Chain A
């Protein structure tokens, strides 16, 4: 009895506060096949559970390596299925966050376990789970300490998913920082010859980013009276422009260490070129996008004055980053570093879209998170595979590979096209949206970025020509084409890029009935419309119309308040 009283006194146990049931769209074929109450928690904690099972699995002399691999693969496949369910059930044209879960955690600090997903998050979750599956497939060649490898990989994936779903800043920071050590350990344990330097550099930049994020978070928390870490509360707080500027600057630094943006790009080259292919794909595909996602969610959504003040800086950094990545890719002689530099470009384009602060550029940026992740993952994945299959990383040794590895040759071409954004590839749409929006508000940055993209096109064309169709060197080591697992993981990325590129509005029967895919752009615009609404200029007052008999009902002008712009439905 006394114990019971004590337990009541300290208010133990989670208190669930009105989780929103999974929404059900009405006009979608095969929508809502089943109901998952805690969909987002399942997406986060299922890989943790799998990681714990794998860690506890006895594996004497690697006898269970295959089982562990399959366990990791099916965990990711299940996650992809669940993410597809979330994507399929996402309610379009509903501005609120969906699949919300809210549990009080540390009430006196205003911390709650609050998860939620809007269109951007749902699309990111879908791509994140796809990248996770691809990452496991790319790790098929791991032979040493398989148990530890997949344990860490699943923990990394869970941390990224958690950060994507967080609606509480504490939860966001928790997951953001939790992924650092598993990634660094994967890099240090299974990376290339310079893995230790790469891991330390990765950790250093990650620590700087986390510190900057913490500073921004605590600054906003203190400025709002220290009542809550909930993003809804923080986003609606009235903060002075000075606080917004300082916090926004810290957020830009935090994001710049992840995306990355110049001058915080130092870790990318080493990390992506030394990491095992599975980790490289995970980092480039979704890990780096997390920086952009954070910027969109916290800076653009929450600090409107800060965003306006920092937009020129963000635009300049974006332009410089793209130009730097293209030039650095041109100057280096390592095929994996070439892939790593290409993977920087989508981050720059994303930042450019944010700097535009127009609804179309923000939609482009949000779409760029998806397409940039896929393109970057493809670029680092295919270059890592080429280096492995050709037994050399040197671009001066690798030449004339197309006849010897036709599949990889095609994939390299497609990776280059995906990064530079040619029509047919999903990245094309995001880049068009981005540039269309940015040229209005940040013409200088757009011009700089355009220059960088032109350089990137030249670099990709030159390198592809050299590696695939150049004259083979007689002393180059033997090369073989991609294995089945490699073809699958790279093929999945290409398929996703083509699917979203060709059918951004989703497949429709007779142009009316939506099939299983609502259309990535429609899902994304569900979130980006909300994000962009504060930046939409108020509609100009309607000119007075001469009327012979003015009456209140006919002379009323349309409302000038900024409302959400209609969602595009290509």
Chain B
């Protein structure tokens, strides 16, 4: 019974994914209810996670571990999935595959979040990555092929790195491996193995524009867990991670500023925030990882809502508020959150990371991050002005209206708006999550 309750959320998500993938057999009229049904399934899974996820336990001889970290990460992934499923304007013919793959990617993330050993981590990471690649293949086959190649290549590097670590530590269970690594002195092979894992996972974060928030979130979760597990080896990536973070923060800001269309601008904003997330790994203690986790969930919510609000807008942003107010509000809230504008979710996450960096004395990284976020302000001014303060012009069609997509868009906007006001319970849970993966 206990097993069932712990695995309840995963079971619901998998069942919903399978049902969705099998739903082309249904009549088109019945398929129209698929997004609503899938949304309900995700809400149910989230409810089960919040209800039963508070209990701590392990299953499958340590392979599945339910702790505060898993609770936090799975909650964030399920909310992200809910936004995607509800807010996307699904085409009735491709909806079954799209929703099914989205839920599979969510399941992959949940597996990684609960994984107690390296095998579970890797399996969850790859499931989410593959689902994202196939999902992209529905719209852009070439990009999907490239994403698949990159994911497989990077997944292979992660696997090699994990195997080297497991070989050195003599175990694949994360808690045991962490203890073993603390007993080893930092040797070159160990350092290379840790750098390989962290480097490949960092590169997977860079695939975010194509892989989408769920696969990126899964990579982020695996990265946090591996950073905690290999914190004894943190000197091996102490230079690499801040350097990549700095490049992402400044490069993302410049890319957003240079972008001519809102989509790339949003991608640039996402890269800046992922840079901030990476920067949190420069402080591999409980508070640094907690700040990273706190920011990652903020990123996921905004990265899910923003692109969906922009999807299928043939006339760009001009006058978006007049064409679809739900989309305009969701786009603005998510974009500004990614840009770290107060009082939205991203600001709170980035500030938490900045505070930890300050504690660690990494002021140069804070300065670069602030610079990147400041660049985003200009891009945000340009795009928000377009959405709200310009006329849509003639011959421009209104955005499609649907109650579920409207509700989904508003949910994204509401979540990134109230995130900061709920910072007390959310950040406390993030801190407990960081402690749960062995950090002090």
Residues of A within 8 A of B (CB): 2-3, 5-7, 9-15, 104-109, 111, 145, 148, 170, 173-175, 177-178, 180-181, 184-185, 188-189, 199-200, 203-204, 207-208, 210-211, 214-215, 218-219, 221-222, 226
Say whether A214 contacts B425, CB under 8 Å.
no
Say whether B381 contacts A188, CB under 8 Å.
yes
- Total inter-chain residue pairs, C-beta < 8 Å: 125
Say whether A11 contacts B424, CB under 8 Å.
yes
**B298 → A minimal CB distance (Å):** 13
For B338-374 the 0/1 string (1 means CB < 8 A from A) is: 0001110001100110110111010100110011001
Question: B52's contact among A2, A15, A184, A203, by CB below 8 Å, is which?
Answer: A2
Some 24 contacts from A to B, beta carbons below 8 A apart, are A5-B54, A7-B425, A9-B54, A10-B429, A10-B432, A11-B425, A12-B424, A12-B425, A105-B423, A105-B424, A148-B321, A148-B388, A170-B351, A173-B342, A174-B347, A175-B342, A177-B347, A181-B341, A185-B381, A185-B389, A188-B389, A189-B388, A210-B370, A214-B370
Say whether A106 contacts B352, CB under 8 Å.
yes
C-alpha gap A425/B361 in the complex (Å): 49
Say whether A188 contacts B358, CB under 8 Å.
no
Known: A6-B50, A174-B343. A109 touches B361 (CB 8 A): no
C-alpha gap A3/B54 in the complex (Å): 7
C-alpha gap A556/B343 in the complex (Å): 57
C-alpha gap A3/B50 in the complex (Å): 7
Does B51 touch A at the CB level, under 8 Å?
yes
In chain B, residues 315-347, which have Cβ atoms closer than 8 Å to a Cβ of chain A? 321, 336, 341-343, 347
Which B residues are CB-close (under 8 A) to A181?
336, 341, 377, 380-381, 384
Known: A109-B355, A178-B343. A203 touches B381 (CB 8 A): yes
**B376 → A minimal CB distance (Å):** 10
Which A residues are CB-close (under 8 A) to B374?
207-208, 210-211
The 10 closest A-B pairs by CB, nearest first: A6-B54, A12-B425, A218-B358, A207-B374, A189-B389, A226-B359, A222-B358, A178-B342, A10-B425, A10-B429
Known: A106-B424, A177-B342. A215 touches B51 (CB 8 A): no
Question: B366's contact among A105, A204, A218, by CB below 8 Å, is which?
Answer: A218
Does B290 touch A at the CB level, under 8 Å?
yes
Does B427 touch A at the CB level, under 8 Å?
yes
Known: A174-B342, A218-B355. A11 touches B428 (CB 8 A): yes
Say whether B381 contacts A207, CB under 8 Å.
no
Does B271 touch A at the CB level, under 8 Å?
no
C-alpha gap A188/B382 in the complex (Å): 9
C-alpha gap A92/B157 in the complex (Å): 69
Say whether B381 contacts A221, CB under 8 Å.
no
Closest A residue to B50 by beta carbon equals: A3
For B105-139 the 0/1 string (1 means CB < 8 A from A) is: 00000000000000000000000000000000000
Which B residues are CB-close (under 8 A) to A226?
355, 358-359
Closest B residue to A145 by beta carbon equals: B389
Does B378 touch A at the CB level, under 8 Å?
yes
Which B residues are CB-close (under 8 A) to A173?
342, 351
User: Which of B53, B287, B374, B380 gathers most chain A CB within 10 Å?
Assistant: B374
Does B30 touch A at the CB level, under 8 Å?
no
Say whether B51 contacts A214, CB under 8 Å.
no
C-alpha gap A109/B427 in the complex (Å): 9
Which A residues are CB-close (under 8 A) to B351?
170, 173
C-alpha gap A218/B54 in the complex (Å): 34
Say whether A106 contacts B423, CB under 8 Å.
yes
User: Which of A5, A6, A188, A226 gathers most chain B CB within 10 Å?
Assistant: A6
Does B146 touch A at the CB level, under 8 Å?
no
Say whether A108 contacts B428, CB under 8 Å.
yes
**B227 → A minimal CB distance (Å):** 18
C-alpha gap A204/B378 in the complex (Å): 8
Apart from A107-B428, A219-B358, 16 more pairs, CB < 8 Å = A2-B51, A6-B54, A12-B422, A106-B424, A106-B427, A108-B428, A148-B388, A173-B351, A178-B341, A180-B377, A181-B384, A185-B381, A200-B381, A207-B374, A221-B359, A226-B358
Question: A214's contact among B321, B341, B354, B384, by CB below 8 Å, is which?
Answer: B354
User: Which of B290, B358, B422, B431 gathers most chain A CB within 10 Å?
Assistant: B358
**A275 → B minimal CB distance (Å):** 14
C-alpha gap A173/B378 in the complex (Å): 19
Known: A106-B423, A106-B424. A211 touches B370 (CB 8 A): yes
**B255 → A minimal CB distance (Å):** 17
Which A residues are CB-close (under 8 A) to B51?
2-3
Which A residues are CB-close (under 8 A) to B385?
185, 188-189
**A271 → B minimal CB distance (Å):** 13
C-alpha gap A181/B332 in the complex (Å): 12
Say whether A207 contacts B384, CB under 8 Å.
no
C-alpha gap A15/B54 in the complex (Å): 22
Known: A3-B50, A10-B428. A203 touches B378 (CB 8 A): yes
Which B residues are CB-close (under 8 A) to A200?
378, 381
**B409 → A minimal CB distance (Å):** 15
Closest A residue to B286 by beta carbon equals: A108
**B399 → A minimal CB distance (Å):** 17
C-alpha gap A203/B375 in the complex (Å): 10
C-alpha gap A340/B54 in the complex (Å): 59
Which A residues are CB-close (under 8 A) to B361?
222
In chain B, residues 375-431, which have Cβ atoms closer than 8 Å to a Cβ of chain A? 377-378, 380-381, 384-385, 388-389, 422-425, 427-429, 431
Which A residues are CB-close (under 8 A) to B53?
6
Which A residues are CB-close (under 8 A) to B370?
210-211, 214-215
Say whether A184 contacts B428, CB under 8 Å.
no
C-alpha gap A203/B341 in the complex (Å): 12
Known: A148-B389, A178-B342, A188-B381. A109 touches B352 (CB 8 A): yes
C-alpha gap A214/B365 in the complex (Å): 13
**A261 → B minimal CB distance (Å):** 20
